[in-house]
Amino acid sequence: MNPKPKQASKTEISKEELQQLDQLRVHRRVHRKSLPPKPPSVAEHFEAPPPTRGQRLADGVAATIGSWRFIAIQSTAIVVWMVGNVMSGSGAWDPYPFILLNLLLSFQAAYTAPAIMMSQNRQSELDRRHAETDYEINVKAELEIELLHEKIDILKEQELLALTEAVKALSAQLETLTQRLER
């Protein structure tokens, strides 16, 4: 009777895959050692430095300019300006091409754009710090997961060794029993 060849189950890992995993682990360790993370300080990662007066002003301008309330108020003011000038007729303070209104809106754009950019730059810096913190946490979690995988592998090897020893012991006992029965 020919025994059927044992088929590998989908959960078993081939020798090639184990070698690739080992190579990947070695590569990760070497990469991590070549770029050691700087030791984080608690204040740097979890508490933002207090904003300066200029930063608070830039944040306030960005929050104000970037709201629907501002758009509604400004649109109303522009309509009132235009209607007031048109209704005044020849005595208008800013007649029809509304050059003064254009000048005021240009000044507003010229001064609010840099303030909004300052606010965005500050927010980008905070986001970058949070991303660095997340990266360091992810690297630490990856290391701990890798350590757990190694511990599980060791436990599996120990269990397999114990099972192999038990099978050998049982085989030896079975052999001695069959020898006794044959006598």
Give residue 144's domain range. Answer: 52-182
Better-scored residue on pLDDT, 123 or 11: 123
Q: How far is CA 90 from CA 54, 82, 84, 103, 113, in A?
A: 43, 14, 12, 20, 35
In a domain, 74, yes or no: yes
First to last CA, the chain: 28
pLDDT grade, residue 3 (50/70/90)?
A: very low
More reliable by pLDDT, 183 or 6 = 183
Instruction: Specify the residue for token string 């005021």.
Output: 104
Is the confidence at residue 126, as pLDDT, over 50?
Answer: yes
pTM: predicted TM-score of the whole model, two decimal places: 0.55
pLDDT digits (tens, 9 = 90+) for 54-89: 999 999 999 999 999 999 999 999 999 999 999 998
In a domain, 103, yes or no: yes
Picking from 109, 135, 103, 113, the residue whose alpha carbon sits closest to that of residue 38 is 135
Burial 45-55 (b: 16+ CB within 10 A, else e): eeeeeeeeeee
Contacts of 180 (CB under 8 A, 6+ apart): none
**Does 37 map to a domain?**
no
In a domain, 70, yes or no: yes
pLDDT in the model for residue 4: 47
Q: Per-residue confidence at 14, pLDDT binned at 50, 70, 90?
A: confident
Position 86 in a domain: yes
Number of domain units in the chain: 1
| Residue scoring higher pLDDT (37 or 2) | 37
Between vectors from CA 113 to CA 107 and to CA 117, what angle results, nearest 5°? 160
| Any domain includes 26 | no
Do the domain assignments include residue 158?
Answer: yes
